[in-house]
Structure 1
Amino acid sequence: MAATNRVWLFRLATLVVGAALVVGVEGLLRLVPGLGPSPLVVTLAEDEASGESLYATSRFYAQRFFAQYKGRLAAAGQMGEHFFVEPAPANRYRVVFVGASTVQGFPHPRRLAAASFLQAMLADAWPEREVEVVNLGITSIASFAVAQVVEDALVLSPDLVVVYTGHNEFYGLYGAGRNQRLQYFLRQLHLTHLVDRLLGGIGTRDEPTDLIKMVAARGEVPLHGPGRATAEQSLRDNLRRVSQLCERAQVPLVLCTIVANDAGFAPVGSTEGDEAWKARVEQAAQVLTQGYVAPEDAKGALQQLEQAAALSSEHAWLWYLQGRALERLGRATEAQRAFRKARDLDIMPWRAPTAHNAVIRAVAKEHGAVLADVEVAFVDAAPTQGVGWEWMVDHVHFSVAGQALLARTVLHSIAALEAIDLGLLRSAEAYRRDLGDLPVERVVAYNKMGAMLAQAPLHQYNGHNARYLKQLAAMEGQRLSLGERRGVEQWIEQGPLVLAVADQLFTERDFARAQVHYAAALREVPFTRRGLWAAVQWGWCIKMQEMALTDKQRDEVRAALKQAGFLAHDPAVGASFADFVKGQLYHLLAEHDPALLHLERAFLAEDFRRRYALSLFQALAVELVWAGRVEDAREYARLVGGEVGQEAHFLRIVEDQLRP
């Protein structure tokens, strides 16, 4: 007995010593900078003169949820940056918008996400406040990870938290039934990060390399298995956690119901009946998945489906096809029920079952959170048969119009909390125009979605939808100018598409269109080298159209100058480029002394001068002549002209400035 006790005491002592050793090593490793997971907020720059600091949400923060993956899936674990300056104005109202890829804005640029629309709308409806909406959408995360993001986001001291989640409980990262808390805890240890570095990623998965393959590899979710109840409970628990976090922080919470493409998107997976069942369904599918379906053909197909249903009815593909037939026959209410039934019977539920919205509504009521009933808003806006391609671009992701409707629905819920004036809102089209909803990006988005639906496992029942999206891309493509088409063709998926198109349009001297695309690029990548370039070129587009800057445009130029000031010491930007940008922007404002100071300083950097010869010298020549330094202008023209082999051209620029 004594010997047994000694053995157990030895084991306990070994366990305690081991645990203490791990805790001690972890404590030491936390002193090593850059070793652990990236924090949510990072400091980028400080302006000693103004006492202001530039911060951003780290694009690497999201990688804590993707640590076990490699390839394109790991690359997806980069969250879009949100830049902000502290100290903030006293009247700031900050909203944190949390969710997965729908919140992120996929497949659109982030400036066209609901968070951006919400910021623009709320700013109109509440002009007394300085509104800021922080987009914390992260690709493919389930509600457990969403709750973790909310907890970390409280460091931002938000005035409101908005959560849109529920579609990724089966296949998302940290989805239901995957030892969420333990897995996440171990992945956040600095010791785990050290071991990963030393051993090249212990436990890291080489396959699958992207989200489509990852979801396909996880297989089906049986209709009557425990997985569905587990997913509902996981969603319920995580939304309760979100509610409790906000309650403790005394931050109001808006919970959103979720929307799926019922009337357009077909099930990803479906059970099947016997051979007789398959024959009838196959005949109906051949009719109903073609382009135009005559009413008499739809009637015949429906009869085939009803005969199949008499044999066996609990099949997602069967109900989806019935919905299409009923829709074509004008029986829209019946079609809506069929489409929703198809979603609930999908054995690969990329779209959340309808029960998930019941969970969201129940938790909102239980905790006194404000409910933004997005599902109802979309059903009201959609045709009777249900939400379809009018508002969606795939199974759960919104079109740009859908993102705007999501934002407006959330805004109406905020009106229950704050004294905002909804009567000040403009049309959805006005907000889309201001944020830069452009055909070139719709072409790319529709092509991307069409290609996705053509992949396994989506292609089995959604081949007709893949073809439809490709047709939409072709139709949008016909609206593009020749310069826009060339810009799309030359884009290499590095940097914003709109910036590549804008540069092409500027080269072709289509300054009006270039101005619109540069404005969109400036919104898309603020506080970056590309964003500063877009600001300069945007201003030159206005100048080349011989138009004067409006007061609003002058304010935008000054905002870009402030960005350039913060980025002047960023190695990724470079001092010479910052001087170039500042000089150009001051030139556009006709503030000659600072314009000449910065342009000349940029010009005297030899490597930079050769790279940006024409863009730089065009403004510098104007400022030198204005300052009475004509001979310096000619000397600089001969210098740079000799370096690039165009001396006569650069001298002509100077002489053009001397003409009355």
Structure 2
Amino acid sequence: MKGKDSESSHLKTSHTISRKKLLIFKISAVILALIFIVLLEVVLRIAGYGSDFPLFTEAENKPGYIYMNPNVSNKYFFGTNNATAGYRELFKAEKDSRTKRVFVLGASTGIGYPYLKNGSFHRWLQYAMNENFPEEDIEIINLSLTAVNSYTLRDFAKELPVYDPDAVLIYAGHNEYYGALGVGAVNSLGGYPRLVNFALDMREYRLVQLISSGMSKVQGIFNSEKQEEETLMKKMVAEQAIPLNSETYKDGIEQFRFNFESLLEGLAENEIPVFLSTIASNEKDIQPFVSDTTSAEKSAQAYFEIAKKAYSEGEYQKAKTNFIKAKEMDMLRFRAPSEINEIIRSFEKFNNVHLVETEAEFIKQSPHLSIGNELLVEHVHPNLQGYSLIAYKFYKAFEKKNVLDLKWENSWTLKELREKMPITELDSLQGAYEVMMLKQGWPYYEKLQFDSSNLSIPEKIAGQLALRKISWEQAMESLYGYYNNRKDLESALKISESIILEYPNEPQFYIKAGDLAAQIDDYEKAISIYKKAFKLEASVAIARKITVNLIKNEQFTEAISYLEYIESKDVRDIMSKKLMLDLTVLESDSIANRKLKLAEVYYQVGQDAKAKKLLNEFLQTNPGNIEAENLLKKL
């Protein structure tokens, strides 16, 4: 018995040792695998492979300035070749005490599609703020990207507090299904926001980027020819039919809610005001893209036909109700369902969130309640009237809440904004061409109706720009030359002001615009523009331009202050000394020959007609005055 017990004990001991060895082996294998992964990660980083995907990157030729990283979108489009780029708007990495800084988050409507540069609502808003508050430094920095959704916005928002924004503006919600990582997109990771956000965090690792890049290349081998023929809209869509209240539909709604709550909570913790806008869709003039054919109750097309008939018969409320039903039932979800706006409105529960009711304003500005082509160019993107309306809603929200701590004395009307904004015919034409080209393809398949036989110069330039044969800068230069040759200086000034909006930190563009304003005798605008150039780069040359236009605008006291600056920088400037002496004397209440002195001042700044008029008036009461007669001879 003892022998058997001993043998049994020995077997148990051996079995225990074997299990321990197996456990040690498994642990060792895991540790070795982790060591290998860490080493591979280190090697890839040392070799310079991959990126950290920073939201901003340093400006190459402007120390201290940064701008949106043009490659940041690669983080969200992994597994595809569809990454998009946004604006390149420079701003100081370290915000100074004078600056008011606003960030804009959004997708293609935030970008301003189909327009380039100044068609976007943030540029309309920037111009209004610049003109209303010329002495203030107000930055509106657009971080929007085409074809992204709440995953990207949430990720961007996490980095913003470091840059001390005074406010964040958001217009987004249409891309929850087909934007990067959306539940119906080609690179979807499913309807689990926590998992997707974890995957985004993992994208910082080079090994994950290497694997993702490999997958993308393999996919590209099979899809390259097909992809070249498709629009970005088509490339991003994996699931073309997402019925109302289906699991995928609900996943998209939950994705938006989860990511936005996280985004807003993060900004609330840092006490950053958020202006969150509702979004608008084309209800009236866009047929449903994909309609359920199994029954009339589920058919988006059936509701659309009922709506059209009601609209034609003047039953506008019935039409509105059925247009919305048609949009909700449309299974190709390029237009956000109404539930998205309901969620946006619910976020007013955050103390830092200010709701901007853009959808309600679009309805108000649309004939007979239903939003259509009057304000939108296709299913969701506004025309220039629509973009100006979005900008104006944010503008009035700024005025109402005054989070930028500004003195709102003479705010503009919407009409004034539209009249004053330097939008050119190039902007309008290029946008129209973009939409025509877009609608040739899926899901529209509209025939291109375009006569190119008798195009004007601006139309030809816009066409080249839309086809990407020339850059926006080249297009603007060509159009400027066209207006300049025709002596259409007002239109040339619009071009110059447009360029300022694109390059707000370059004084030479302000000087060019100021010169044009001065040529058309718009002294007030010239002074305002020159002052901005002076603020960027103070110089005697710019101070002289400001002085001359201040005098022409009869702002003599302020002109003296700039003449004092000139004297401090250039003691040899005899003309400026003479001007300062005359103006100083002119400011005296006791001067008897004011008209004569003022005539001398106007003569020095090239205002000959004004000088001559004053001299003639002076000689009527002082006949034979030699000084006046000699000056009149010079004129």
What is the TM-score of this pair, normalised by structure 2?
A: 0.71
Find the aligned partners of 1:515 and 1:4 in 2 and give their Cα distance: 84
Q: Which residue does 1:620 correspond to in 2? A: none
Structure 1 CA distance for aligned equivalents of residues 288 and 215 of structure 2: 41
Contact 2:77 2:181 (C-alpha < 8 Å) held by counterparts:
no
SS of the counterpart of 1:106?
A: coil
> Displacement, 1:232?
0.7
Cα 1:372/1:37, change in 2 over 3 Å:
same
1:163 counterpart = 2:179? no
> Match for residue 397 of structure 1?
381
CA deviation digits over 1:153-198, x for unaligned, max 9?
2332212222222111111102137322354234332334466789
Residue in structure 2 matching 1:322, options 287, 306, 316: 306
Find the partner of 2:197 among 177, 181, 184.
181
Pick from 64, 67, 71 the counterpart of residue 60 of structure 1. 71
In structure 2, relative to structure 1, the CA distance for the partners of 1:559 and 1:237 (3 Å cut) is same
- Please tell me whether residue 219 in structure 1 is matched to residue 219 in structure 2: no
Report if aligned partners of 1:262, 1:388 keep a CA contact under 8 Å in 2.
yes
- Which of 11, 24, 37 does residue 26 from structure 2 map onto? 11
Amino acid at match of 2:373: W
- Alpha carbons of structure 1 residues 8 and 181: separation in structure 2 relative to 1, 3 Å: farther
Match of 2:254 in 1: 233
Match of 1:440 among 426, 429, 446: 426
Q: 1:123 to 1:543 in 2, by over 3 A?
A: closer
Structure 2 CA distance for aligned equivalents of residues 555 and 127 of structure 1:
9
What CA distance in whole angstroms lies between the structure 2 residues aligned with 1:488 and 1:125?
Answer: 31
**Offset at 1:25?**
4.1
Hey, what's the Cα distance between the residues in 1 that align with 2:93 and 2:175? 35
Task: Structure 2: state its 5+ residue gaps.
Answer: 1-14, 190-195, 549-565, 571-634
1:458 to 433, 437, 444: 444
- Report the Cα distance in structure 1 between the residues aligned to 2:344 and 2:26, rounded to whole angstroms: 46
Cα-to-partner distance string for 1:505-556 (whole Å, 9 max, x where unaligned): 34555444333223213323455xxx78866765675687799883123225
Amino acid at match of 1:135: N
Q: How far off is 1:395 after superposition?
A: 1.0
Matched, 1:356 2:317: no
Q: Is the radius of gyration larger for structure 1 or structure 2?
A: 2
- What is residue 555 of structure 1 aligned with on the other side? 531
Contact 1:95 1:161 in 2 (8 A): yes
Q: Measure how far apart 1:490 and its partner are.
A: 5.4
Conserved 8 A contact 1:117-1:407 = yes
Question: Which one-letter code corresponds to 1:181 in the other structure?
Answer: N
Partner in structure 1 of residue 627 of structure 2: none
Equivalence for 1:655: none
* Inter-partner Cα distance in structure 1 for 2:543 and 2:457: 29
Kindly indicate whether the alpha-carbon contact (under 8 Å) linking 2:58 and 2:67 is maintained by their aligned counterparts in 1. Answer: yes
Paired with 2:142 and 2:87, the residues of 1 have a C-alpha distance of 8
Change in 2 beyond 3 A, CA 1:360/1:56: same
Distance of aligned partners of 1:320 and 1:400 in 2 relative to their CA distance in 1, 3 Å threshold: same
Query: Unaligned regions of 5+ residues in structure 1, if any?
Result: 274-310, 563-581, 596-659
Aligned partners of 2:119 and 2:427 also within 8 Å: no
SS of 1:553's equivalent in the other structure is helix
Letter in 2 for 1:493: I
Mapping for residues 187-198 of structure 1, pairs under 5 Å: 187-193=203-209
**Which of the numbers 51, 75, 80 marks the counterpart of 1:36?**
51
| Post-superposition CA distance 1:562-582 (Å, at most 9, x none) | 8xxxxxxxxxxxxxxxxxxx9
Whole-Å Cα distance in 1 between the matches of residues 120 and 436 of structure 2? 20
Question: SS at the partner of 1:393?
Answer: coil
Q: Deviations over 1:352-401 (max 9, x none)?
A: 11111122222332676322222222222222331111211111112222
Contact 2:283 2:327 in 1 (8 A): yes
Offset at residue 455 of structure 1 (A):
1.5
Q: Take 2:67 and 2:136, find their aligned partners in 1: how far apart are those partners?
A: 21
- Amino acid paired to 2:30: L
Q: Distance in 2 between matches of 1:547 and 1:223?
A: 57
Deviation at residue 60 of structure 1 after TM alignment: 2.6
Contact 1:166 1:235 in 2 (8 A): yes
Closer, same or farther in 2 for the Cα pair 1:420/1:319, shift >3 Å?
A: farther
User: Which residue pairs with 2:142 in the alignment?
Assistant: 135
TM-score in terms of structure 1 length:
0.68
Pair 1:255-2:266 in alignment = no
Task: Give CA deviations for 1:320-352 in whole Å, capped at 9, x if unaligned.
Answer: 222222112111111111110010000101001
Structure 2: which amino acid aligns with 1:494? S
Which residue of 2 is the match for residue 516 of structure 1?
Answer: 494
Question: How far off its partner does 1:266 sit?
Answer: 1.9
1:583 Cα offset (Å): 13
Look up the equivalent residue of 2:342 and give its one-letter code. A
Q: Deviations over 1:605-660 (max 9, x none)?
A: xxxxxxxxxxxxxxxxxxxxxxxxxxxxxxxxxxxxxxxxxxxxxxxxxxxxxxx9
Task: Work out the CA distance in 2 between the residues paired with 1:107 and 1:537.
Answer: 28
Aligned CA-pair RMSD:
4.0
* Correspondence for 1:574: none
Per the TM alignment, residue 417 of structure 1 is displaced from its structure 2 partner at its CA by: 6.0
From the superposition, tell whether residues 359 and 543 of structure 1 become closer, same or farther in structure 2 (CA, over 3 Å).
closer
Change (3 A) 1:151 1:539: same
- SS in structure 2 at match of 1:163: strand
Whether the aligned pair in 2 keeps the contact of 1:483 and 1:508 (CA below 8 Å) is no
Change in 2 beyond 3 A, CA 1:587/1:263: same
Checking the alignment, whether the CA contact within 8 Å between 1:36 and 1:188 is kept in structure 2 is: yes
Alpha-carbon separation, structure 2, partners of 1:335 and 1:344: 14
Taking a change above 3 Å as real, the CA distance of residues 157 and 89 of structure 1, as seen in their structure-2 partners, is closer
Quote the offset at 1:446 in angstroms.
Answer: 1.7
Residues 1:416 and 2:401 aligned together: yes
Task: Give the letter aligned to residue 101 of structure 1.
Answer: S
Q: Distance in 2 between matches of 1:328 and 1:433?
A: 33
Structure 1 segment 487-502 matched on structure 2, within 5 A: 487-488=461-462, 491=465, 492-496=469-473, 497-502=475-480
What residue is the counterpart of 1:334 in the other structure? 318
Q: 2:264 aligns with which of 236, 243, 246?
A: 243
Distance 2:430 2:323 in 1: 28
How do 1:361-400 residues align onto structure 2 when only pairs under 5 Å count? 361-365=345-349, 369-400=353-384
Q: Which amino acid aligns with 1:208?
A: Q
Verify the 8 A CA contact 2:291 2:330 in the aligned structure 1.
yes
Structure 2 equivalent of residue 22 of structure 1: 37
Distance change (3 Å), C-alpha of 1:111 and 1:441? closer
* % identical aligned pairs: 18
The amino acid that maps onto 1:190 is R
Q: CA deviation at 1:312?
A: 2.3
1:430: how far off? 3.1
